[in-house]
Amino acid sequence: MKIIVQKFGGTSVINEERRGLAIDKIEAAIEKHLNPVVVVSAIGRSGDPYATDTLINLAKSTGIEPNTRELDILMSCGEIISAVVLSNTLKARGYKSSVFTGGQAGIITDNNFSDARILRVNPQKILEALENGEIPVITGFQGITENGDITTLGRGGSDVTASIMGEALSAELVEIYTDVDGVMTADPKIVPDAKVMDTIFYNEVFQMTEYGAKVLHHKAVEIAMRSNIPIVIRNTTSDYNGTLITNYHRTRSYIDENTRIITSVANINNRIQVKITPRKDDYDNHELIFDSIANVGVSIDMINIYPNQIFFIIDEKDKKKLEDVLEKLRFKYELLENCTKVTLIGNRMRGVPGVMAKAVAALAKENIEILQTSDSHTTISCLIESKYTNRAVNGLHGYFELGK
């Protein structure tokens, strides 16, 4: 049995017209002799009647903040509504279909409510439905604990549901349907000539998600990478081929395979640069600083350590927690707020000299000061002031000719 997992995001099921288009995609898979397993997000986005944020705001309107366990019960409702409606739409087209919650689909998680970790998947009920000629429609974003409590998988968790079900079912392919034509070389809201990529490697998409691109949940990429199941990002409203995420596929070419070393530009805003000057007797005791910061749950990035100074960046939401730690330790520090981390991503830059020099030249051409840098085999990141974000992303995108 050849199985395809098809995930439809909130905008893909928002109204009768979009749901009809989603059914068209399911029918297209059936015509290719594939057995579809469907995963859905909650209908619409914030402000729409059944969107997850709408449900959360409804609960908070009582004046009482729901605890995390009860919040997960509430947040699971959006996907349940969406699954039942889409399943009924399939039945109206003459198909047999059954709805499954994440727990009923066999997704077992820990009890870290609102950001649960999947422990294992038992897809037996889904396989039985397929054998019975049914199209299973699974609620994304959720699972169940060993004790029977409903859990949610964190923002973007429906992508994770699709990917983990693809792995559990040994699917041929996972299709993620959304409102864009595929993965783009940069944020099209910033870069007008951003281009949809034909094919991209798993690790490049993973880097994009880590560095601010709202492409796909990073856990979904991790799962697909380890199981080597291809993912295609497609638009519900068009027949565009979309972007294939894989390590290799003989039917698609990689963009300018022989020459292009940069795949995309990503950016993540709301960063704060931190400069710490430790006391003289603490120069060799950096462990104290980093352990203290980690113990209050603050994640740090772009770490540079010098003999008498330490630089790193944090998310602006962690500012108060960081300040409390540093005040308690009595370290001298400075904060530079309103920063953006801009990152070049490319699987082929590994071992290629001069890429950093070109990045620096591109930003210098735009008269943008680089506050800090970091790099890996496949990424180069530059920290800049946020007011220059659009110029920086467009400048790098143009310099490396990603729109051509």
Which amino acids are annotated as binding site, given as ranges? Answer: 7-10, 52, 79, 178-179, 214-215
Count the helix, strand and coil residues of the chain and give each as a percent rounded to the nearest 5. Answer: 35, 25, 40
Residues 299 and 117: their CA atoms lie apart, in Å, by 19
| Torsion of the alpha carbons at 203, 208, 210 and 216, rounded to the nearest 10 | -90
> Using an 8 Å Cβ cutoff, are 177 and 12 in contact?
yes
β-bridge mates for residue 150, sequence order: 144
Binding residues for substrate: 52, 79
Residues 362 and 373: their CA atoms lie apart, in Å, by 14
Residue 304 CB neighbour total at 10 angstroms: 13
Binding residues for ATP: 7-10, 178-179, 214-215
Type of residue at 127: L
Helix ranges, 32-143 (H): 52-60, 68-92, 124-131
DSSP 283: T
> Using an 8 Å Cβ cutoff, are 1 and 35 in contact?
yes
Angle between helix 202-210 and helix 218-227 axes, rounded to 10 deg: 160
